[in-house]
Amino acid sequence: MANSRFDTRRELATQEANAIGTTLLRIGFFPDTIQTELNSILKHYFEERIAFLAAESDIDKMLLHF
C-alpha cells in the first residue's frame, strides 16, 4: 500500500513539473508585454507552492497560502 501511495505522489509531481514546463514554453508565444505579466504570475505560483510544501503538515501555515 505504501508503494502505491509513493507511486501516486511521484506521478502527480511529474505531472505538475510537466505542466509547469509546458506553461513556460507556451508563455514564449505571447507578445513581450504579456510575457512579463505571465512570468510574474508564474513566479508567484512557484513561491506559494514552495511555501505550501515547506509548511508540511502545519495546517495554520498552509491556510496562510490560500
Average pLDDT over residues 9-25: 93
Higher pLDDT, 58 or 7: 7
pLDDT of 63: 67
- Name the pLDDT band for 62 (thresholds 50, 70, 90): low
pLDDT digits (tens, 9 = 90+) for 28-43: 999 999 999 999 999 9
pTM: 0.70
Question: What stretch of H or E contains 20?
Answer: helix 2-27
First to last CA, the chain: 31
Mean of all residue pLDDT scores within the chain: 87
